[in-house]
Amino acid sequence: MVGPKRIIDNLSFAVDAGETLALAGSNGSGKTTTLRCLLGTMRPTSGRALIAGSPFSPRNSTRVGYLPEERGLYRKERVLDVMSYFGHLKGLDRVRARKEAVSYLERVGLGDKQRSRLDKLSGGQHQKVQLGIAIMNEPHLLVLDEPTKGLDPINRQLLMDLVVECQARGSGVILVTHHMEEIERLCQRALVLRDGVAKAHGTIAEIQAAFGSRRILVRSADVISESTTFSVESRQGDLYRLIPRSGAPDRDILSELVATGSRVARFEPQKTSMQEIFVRLYSEDAA
């Protein structure tokens, strides 16, 4: 007999209207469980999860769009019927629900699948239909659990565009993703979970400042050597990658380069990628 296990520990976060929060973390770190607590399919042992000030309930459920990790609609039904049905459940009148469904299907390249049964669609097509249902009535909160999983690059881009549009219309979006470049492209803030604990939480810039390492890319025809404000990490022709010494501001580094006679054609402080930060947060040191 296995005893109880703590999956999520002391987690606190908020999502504002018109912003996208990434919920990231390795497999089994507790992302889906967090969403399930928020959407009432699991009850936390303590704490509260509120949507616009109230727990998830039939009353506010229509303003929440959810794309779960496990895809699954009524497989024997036809695409347009299913979308119209859910649109109506979410509060759209029947004519509007059908119209929104048709226009969405055309937008995502499924205009010719309106009369197809769901079990005749590919996995990616099914996923697009399910996303369409999640966003149909312009929800206040859109919760997407790995929405681009298994999509080809074109459909992935299409889906990311749709998320950006929802956000621009004022939806708050929670995006569970394993793709760090999606976080950089779509999200204003991120929360990285490790074993149910938030290891990083903040704006992307804050996370990069806290967990990233500074590098500066410099192009100079003159030889650059180590100095009191920086070390030289690498050189490829006239392109140097410098590591600032602790606390040395960019302007001091540039001044020193110029003072020592380097003709600087490019000076570009670089951000650490979320990919690098994620790996770092999961390294032994971070533990």
Ligand X SMILES: Nc1ncnc2c1ncn2[C@@H]1O[C@H](COP(=O)(O)OP(=O)(O)OP(=O)(O)O)[C@@H](O)[C@H]1O
Cβ neighbour number for residue 246 with a 10 Å cutoff:
6
What's the min distance (Å) between Cβ of 156 and ligand X? Answer: 18
Mark 47-86 with x for binding to ligand X (rule: CB under 6 A) and - for no binding: ----------------------x-----------------
Report the nearest approach of ligand X to the CB of residue 65 (Å). Answer: 19
Q: How far is the CB of 155 from ligand X (least distance, A)?
A: 20
Residue 32 CB, shortest distance to ligand X, in Å, is 3
How many residues of this chain interact with ligand X, rule: CB under 6 A? Answer: 10
Report the residue number, 83 or 176, with the smaller CB distance to ligand X: 176
Other residues' Cβ atoms within 10 Å of the Cβ of residue 78: 16
The answer to whether the CB of 121 falls within 8 A of the CB of 113 is yes
Which x/- pattern over 5-44 shows residues binding ligand X (rule: CB under 6 A)? --x-----------------x-xxxxxxx-----------
147 near ligand X (CB under 6 A): no
Q: Which is nearer to ligand X, 142 or 216 (CB)?
A: 142
- Buried-state track 180-190, b at ≥16 Cβ within 10 A, e below 16: bebbbebbbbb
| CA distance to 5, 70, 97, 112, 114, per residue, from 77 (Å) | 39, 18, 16, 16, 11
Q: Which of 229, 271, 273, 227 shows the shortest CA–CA distance to 250?
A: 229
Give the H/E segment covering residue 171. Answer: none
Give CA–CA dist 23/11, Å, rounded. Answer: 12
- Residues in touch with ligand X (CB under 6 A): 7, 25, 27-33, 69
